[in-house]
Amino acid sequence: MQQNKKLPSDNYIKHAVKTMSWQPTMRNGWIIKFSVYDNGSNILLLFVSNHTGYTIIRNFANENEAVDFINYVIELDPTDYHKI
């Protein structure tokens, strides 16, 4: 049986080549993935609870706001479901 592979869209490729990512890190039960794109003018944060799998994704244009949000999330209890 032959599988048809779907190629990435031009839009996806355009953004992927402008994105820099680092290895995920774990803090206080949260797995944190940090990426920058558009020449560093935008910051994308991805948090995943190591206990529940709850995922938080946020985009920031300001580095200070991104750092404040990281500090806020890692203080949350990752074993509980939180609406942020």
Mean pLDDT, the chain, whole residue set: 87
Instruction: Tell me the pTM.
Output: 0.75
Q: Does residue 66 lie in a domain region?
A: yes
Domain count, the chain: 1
Asked if residue 33 is part of any domain, the answer here is yes
pLDDT digits (tens, 9 = 90+) for 56-73: 999 999 999 999 999 999
> How far is residue 71 from each of residues 14, 25, 53, measured CA to CA in Å?
31, 14, 19
Evaluate whether residue 81 is within a structural domain: no
Residue 8 in domain:
no
Residue 41, domain extent: 22-74
Position 14 in a domain = no
Residue type, 22: W
Residue 15 in domain: no
